[in-house]
Structure 1
Amino acid sequence: MSAMSSSNWDRRSVLRAAAGLAALGPLAACGGNNGRGGGSGSGKNLTQYFHAYGEAGVEQAVKRYAKGYSKADVTTQWITGSDYETKLFAALLTKNAPDVFEFHPQIQLVKSGQVADLTDLITPVKDDFNQADITSHTVDGKIYGIRMIDDPQFFFYRKSMLEKANVAVPTTLEELIEAAAKLTTSKVKGLFLGNDLHAIELPLIWSAGAEPLTEKNEVGYHTDAVVGGLRQLRKLFTSGDLLLDAPADFWDPSALNQGLCAMQFCGMWAMPAMQKALGDDLGVFPFPKVGSAGRPSVYNGGWSVFVNAKGDNVDAAKEYVKWLWLDQKKDQEDFATSYGFHIPPRTSIAQSATKLKSGLPAEGVKLFNTYGHFDNISWTQAMYSAWDSVIADSVRKGGDPEAALDAADKKINRELKKLFG
């Protein structure tokens, strides 16, 4: 979901936008001509879309990489504001559609013929990728999209605050709630989970020992442990120990950095900014286990690059994507470690990335390797939306979690039937 997140764009709030992937229905009718060179397909000019990353220097880096490519002039559209997804999918319907764009693996993009099959590019280096990143981009044996960065998400905490309150690092959801209570003072809230709690939906499911979808693409999240977890979150939500309506959402480190909370759910991307603000007074732990059969979990969001299969310059775009995201390993490491901290999806680069080898970054990598869960390409935007309603109804409004999950089941089963028959 993730999400090498920007201070401008929270994946999940945007995914509610009506334009979103609902726009993919008519995409098949969209003409191939993207208005460049009268559809000549010369490959001389390419356009790529990126969302506005929050870390300083990323935009300049992306443009610098593109400038180093000699076989085409690559223009970068840097999409600011909170609606990258809406702008991307609106653009894909027009003659000005990008040739290359970043997004997350989504089965609708494949089924609508919007993204090009990149299997031929990836196959020679496939074994050098984290295999979970290959799986999350594969449909019917073909690979669509190349992972650029993996973004583990977990809890950051102020060591001094926990020591002062005599609080141990939580290993269960109960302990997390108890810790939040002990850490809350007149000036500091114990815990920040993001302003709408959407960021913790999948970790809640995984930590309860469940999966969003089973291997047969059936509902996997509707279990007693998940219901229990939702009840506990409701207790936390009404406790007064949770930071609500922070100036920025979970992806931004400012809540912890400014002392608004003692523990914050966030992504590894924010680690350099947190270390700069807090020095060594910083620790990390995974989303704790939920229920007796649970297990800790870490959501690995991130971003991937895709080629627009409906553009005029598919071959040229594929060549560029291969050059930058498969051949230029130095740039790939730079992108992953020089701005925020992200884990390179290429095993060889991840193993040689010096900035991730020691201290807190190494702890983050260890959590990623031990407890990591990756995107499921079949978990669609409509399914995210259904789960947002579960959180809204049962946690924010105090409704019955079973009823909220029943409502989600209906929506998600409808979606699964549409996708898989």
Structure 2
Amino acid sequence: MPAEMSHLPVSTRRTFLSLVGALGLGGALAACGGDSGGVDTGGGSGGGKPTLKQWYHLYGESGTEQAVQRYAQGYDRATVEVQWTPGDYESKLSSGLLSDSGPDVFEYQLNVDMVRSGQIVPLDDIVGPVRSDYTDTDITATSLDGSIYGVKIVDDTGFLYYRKSLLAAAGVQPPTTMDELINATRALDRGGVKGLFIGNDAGVTPAFGGGALLDLVLWTAGTASLTPDNKVGFTTPEAKDSLSKLRELAQSGSLLLGAPTDWWDPSAFTQELAAMQWCGLWAMPKIKEAFGDDFGIVPWPALSATVGKPATFLGGWTSMVSAKARDVDLAKDFVKWLWIDNAEAQEDFNLSYGFHIPPRKSLASRAQKLQEGVAADALRIFNESAVAPNPMWTPKMKSAFADAATAIVRGGGDIDAELAKAQQAVEAELARLAA
């Protein structure tokens, strides 16, 4: 977690961390010294049982830590010691995975360097029998080089939230294209309420938590940061048009900038500073508390009626098994027991403390909290429009593209020239990975 977030409430920090994979903020676990915790191979409190170490980042949702401790106690083949990790989880995990005393099982988001450096083991044997019960998006997000390396435990996603009454008063419909969004944002900018909030950086600055829309402007233009064969995908005419539309939106004067918190917090929307806001599923309970039924959601709009389609991101967390686990087979069995077989725990973890989507389709389709009203719309939008992050998209690639997008959208830079610089940096990274 970036140091800039250390002063924020744990719920806000948890929200940011849940997006690491979706926004490309995670990346390789860099080599560094030290270790974090140990692995007990037997005896002790386990009464002769082997011991597994299971690591989580610090969730800010009340009751979550107690819940995962309770789940762990139910596993009878080993004593599972849960490590709840405040502070910079990524650095601590990096250190732990490089030592012989780190976690056996841990949560993170898949990235190429973890796979290529042999830090994690494939989980095809435990996921394969139930593969069809996960969305294709979840499988894509947890797979690389033909193997599945993780089991999704939490699915998060985002929406364009809007006030129904404000849109009705302005005579506009929920936007489905970028032109409609720009026009709606202008029409809703009145009476001291700005039209739209997409972040204090207009969605593009490569600072912590920034770049909320960088993947979306590509997906909704029919492309992606990388093509399916891992070539640069952000230099197409459609991608350039989409960035141009985002620049038009940013220069419209109708965006809220300088809000007390950023896009991942619903305060700007619930305090009626903006009529629309891009935010996450996790914000829905607070928004419903503030407005009752006077709000709706749509995915990020398509580039146009004929190019691209609406989209949203796939975020959340994935359970993985360390290649340095003292007993890899036992660690895999525990992951299967908890995150594949234990349906009650999975639904409890996703919906009893915060507001998320259980990754198993069979659970999400029957979860009572996701069956009615806007929550049901959220599940439908997720199933129809969520796009998986590409594990090949490294932090260096993300930074290069974010720098280009910032120069284009906020600085008025030349689109072709800025994207050419980003392309050069991304291709250098792709060459490194291919070596």
* Smaller-chain TM-score bracket: 0.7 to 0.9
- Match of 1:64? 70
Distance 1:105 1:31 in 2: 23
What is the one-letter code of the residue matched to 2:174? V
Deviation of 1:13 (Å): 9.6
Q: Deviations over 1:254-299 (max 9, x none)?
A: 2212212111111212212221222101100111111442221122
- Match of 1:102? 107
TM-score, L = length of structure 1: 0.88
What is the one-letter code of the residue matched to 2:188? L
The 1:87–1:243 alpha-carbon spacing in structure 2 relative to 1, beyond 3 Å, is farther
Distance 2:262 2:52 in 1: 33
- Match of 2:265? 252
Q: Are 2:314 and 2:387, in contact at CA under 8 Å, matched by a contact in 1?
A: yes
SS at match of 2:214: helix
Q: Deviations over 1:351-385 (max 9, x none)?
A: 22121111111111111222221222222232222
What is the one-letter code of the residue matched to 2:150? G
SS at match of 1:102: strand
- Match of 2:140? 135
- Match of 2:169? 164
- Match of 1:277? 290
TM-score, L = length of structure 2: 0.85
Q: Deviations over 1:26-45 (max 9, x none)?
A: 48xx89997434899x8733
Distance 1:336 1:13 in 2: 15
Distance 1:414 1:224 in 2: 22
1:234 aligns with 2:247: yes
1:36 aligns with 2:39: yes
Deviation of 1:205 (Å): 0.2
Q: Are 1:34 and 1:312, in contact at CA under 8 Å, matched by a contact in 2?
A: no
- Match of 2:330? 316
Q: Are 2:35 and 2:99, in contact at CA under 8 Å, matched by a contact in 1?
A: no
What is the one-letter code of the residue matched to 1:75? E
SS at match of 1:116: coil
Equivalent positions of 1:9-408 (< 5 A) are: 9=14, 10-11=16-17, 21=27, 23-24=29-30, 26=31, 35-37=38-40, 44-81=50-87, 83-185=88-190, 187-196=192-201, 197=203, 198-291=211-304, 292-408=306-422
Distance 2:326 2:34 in 1: 10
What is the one-letter code of the residue matched to 1:71? R
Q: Deviations over 1:241-264 (max 9, x none)?
A: 222232222222222122121111
What is the one-letter code of the residue matched to 1:79? T
What is the one-letter code of the residue matched to 1:280? D
SS at match of 2:199: coil
Q: Deviations over 1:86-117 (max 9, x none)?
A: 33223333454222221112121111111111
Distance 1:267 1:141 in 2: 30
Distance 1:32 1:87 in 2: 8
Segments of structure 2 that go 5 or more residues without pairing to the other structure are: 1-9, 204-210
SS at match of 2:279: strand
Segments of structure 1 that go 5 or more residues without pairing to the other structure are: none
Q: Are 1:34 and 1:94, in contact at CA under 8 Å, matched by a contact in 2?
A: no
Deviation of 1:70 (Å): 2.9
Distance 1:141 1:14 in 2: 23
Is the deviation greater in 120-129 or in 297-306? 120-129
Identity %: 45
Distance 1:12 1:303 in 2: 7
Q: Are 1:43 and 1:316, in contact at CA under 8 Å, matched by a contact in 2?
A: no
Q: Are 1:158 and 1:283, in contact at CA under 8 Å, matched by a contact in 2?
A: yes
The 1:23–1:366 alpha-carbon spacing in structure 2 relative to 1, beyond 3 Å, is closer
Distance 1:228 1:220 in 2: 13
The 1:39–1:187 alpha-carbon spacing in structure 2 relative to 1, beyond 3 Å, is farther
The 1:157–1:60 alpha-carbon spacing in structure 2 relative to 1, beyond 3 Å, is farther
SS at match of 2:181: helix
Q: Deviations over 1:374-418 (max 9, x none)?
A: 222222232222222123221222222222211111111111122
Distance 1:22 1:373 in 2: 21
Instruction: Give aligned pairs, total.
Output: 409
